[in-house]
């Protein structure tokens, strides 16, 4: 997708909530994810004006009860974007800045926003634009894997393998470890999620991602674990 032809990201239409009963442990994990997504100020997440809804454009729906998979970033929005009052205004300004400055970090922020509201095609193109500018940009590489993971179970499997490789190559990246944990949650692999969040915590307990990883480590613990 050519950046000059792209349009501001629009929020997806709401869809019906899934039916069925979930275990208490599953509900704890789901609750932790929604708290992080709707209430956290990590990366681009705070730009939305309302709780995200499951998008109708995905080829496969997110796991029961969970929002669309997204990229978790440590940094916040640029000040000139954060000061805007609506998510639509923030998305539009991010796109203006990314296009004008052609800065890979801004393209990642914009891509993360698009993924957050379920526009996978836009997100993929923006992450790829960031990598065109800087082929070594780790957050863009992780972002592309999260886009793949958002497409369903097969994509989650590919994302897990890709993130494992990125973690091996970047052992000090808390961002890569944390997003590995999120993929583990979405795959229903609590052991893998707990291990990944443990790695994220070991890389910094006091950071925003480190604190969130501690919460998820507890939520992903086996029943009866203190």
User: In the chain, pLDDT over 70 holds for what percent of residues?
Assistant: 69
Domains of the chain: 23-219 (1.25.40.10)
| CA–CA separation, 126 and 136 (whole Å) | 15
User: In the chain, pLDDT over 90 holds for what percent of residues?
Assistant: 47
Say what the pLDDT of residue 121 is.
Answer: 86
Say what the pLDDT of residue 198 is.
Answer: 96
Residue 146, token pair as written in the block: 């999260």
CA 131 vs CA 81, 100, 161: distances in Å: 22, 17, 20
Is pLDDT of 224 > 60? no
Residue 113, token pair as written in the block: 């926003």
| CA–CA separation, 42 and 215 (whole Å) | 14
Mean pLDDT for the chain overall = 77
Could you read off the pLDDT of 170-212 as tens digits, one per residue?
999 999 999 999 999 999 999 999 999 999 999 999 999 999 9
């Amino acid at each position: 997708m050519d950046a000059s032809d792209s349009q501001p990201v629009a929020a997806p239409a709401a869809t019906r909530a899934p039916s069925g009963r979930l275990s208490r442990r599953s509900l704890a994990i789901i609750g932790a994810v929604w708290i992080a997504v709707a209430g956290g100020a990590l990366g681009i997440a705070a730009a939305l004006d309302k709780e995200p809804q499951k998008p109708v454009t995905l080829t496969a729906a997110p796991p029961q009860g969970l929002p669309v998979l997204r990229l978790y970033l440590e940094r916040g929005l640029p000040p000139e974007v954060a000061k805007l009052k609506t998510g639509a205004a923030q998305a539009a300004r991010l796109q203006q800045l990314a296009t004008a400055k052609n800065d890979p970090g801004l393209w990642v922020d914009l891509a993360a926003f698009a993924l957050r509201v379920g526009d996978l095609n836009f997100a993929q193109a923006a992450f790829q634009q960031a990598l065109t500018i800087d082929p070594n940009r780790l957050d863009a590489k992780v972002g592309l894997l999260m886009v793949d993971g958002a497409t369903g179970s097969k994509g989650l499997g590919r994302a897990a393998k890709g993130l494992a490789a990125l973690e091996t190559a970047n052992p000090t990246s808390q961002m890569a470890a944390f997003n590995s944990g999120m993929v583990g949650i979405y795959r229903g692999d609590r052991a893998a999620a707990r291990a990944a969040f443990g790695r994220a915590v070991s890389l910094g307990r006091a950071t925003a991602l480190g604190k969130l990883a501690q919460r998820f480590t507890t939520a992903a613990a086996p029943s009866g674990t203190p």
